[in-house]
Amino acid sequence: MAPALTYSEEELVVLLKQQSQDAFNYLYKNYAGVLYGVIRKVVTDEQTAQDVLQDVFVKVWNNIGQYSTEKGRIYTWMINIARNAAIDKLRSKGEIMKSKIQTGEDAVYNVQKGMKTEQATDTIGLKEAVAALKPEHQTIVSLAYFKGFTMDEIARTLEIPLGTVKTRMRAAMQSLREYYNSN
């Protein structure tokens, strides 16, 4: 049955604090897809992604008492929980460390090459927004948002100055904002 009632952010918080199964069903129906989408961008393995999704819901459920609207939108709060949990999982599997630890020129070259071809076009997988972001912007957004790299790590990995990383982040997000405002 499609949800027939929708709730604002504040109402959703009240609803979740009731901790009923109805509240859970509402939360799941409305947010599981978005949260799972974010997780799958970080960890591609389906089974692992499902494990993370479960952890995320449990975490949201248990921590709703600590959430307050002053901390920003609950939507952003949940997306960040999903993103962080997924990145933690990725790190615990050691995958991400590989690309971070490598310092030899070949390694960096390979990482760079990988980004430029495969990652630049595919990793971020912006289905429709792909037209809105230049490839070099996609790479930066992807490394930061989906792989958990800091600006410094991005600069080193891509061998570009830190200032360029910041400029590109700004430009990338400006394009995204424009894209979603006009659509």
Site for another protein in 39-98 (CB under 8 A): 40-41, 47, 49-51, 53-55, 57-59, 61-66, 72-73, 75-76, 79-80, 83-84
Helix axes 74-92, 9-17, angle to 10 degrees: 70
Distance of CA 69 to the CA centre of its chain: 21
Compare residues 5 and 105 and give the one whose CB is closer to another protein.
Answer: 5
The least distance separating another protein from the CB of residue 49, rounded to whole angstroms, comes to 8
Among 107, 108, 160, 169, binds another protein (CB under 8 A): 169
- Scanning 24-32, 94-102, 103-111, 113-121 for contacts with another protein by CB under 8 A, the matching segment is 24-32
The least distance separating another protein from the CB of residue 146, rounded to whole angstroms, comes to 9
Query: Coil, helix or strand for 61?
Result: helix
For residue 43, the one-letter residue type is V
Cα torsion 181, 9, 72, 33: sign: negative
Q: Does 108 bind another protein (CB under 8 A)?
A: no
The least distance separating another protein from the CB of residue 106, rounded to whole angstroms, comes to 26
Q: How many CB atoms lie within 10 A of CB 123?
A: 19
Nearest alpha carbon to residue 171 among 179, 161, 159, 160: 179
For residue 141, the one-letter residue type is V
Query: Coil, helix or strand for 64?
Result: helix
Q: How many residues bind another protein (CB under 8 A)?
A: 80
The least distance separating another protein from the CB of residue 5, rounded to whole angstroms, comes to 4
Among 116, 145, 156, 160, binds another protein (CB under 8 A): 145
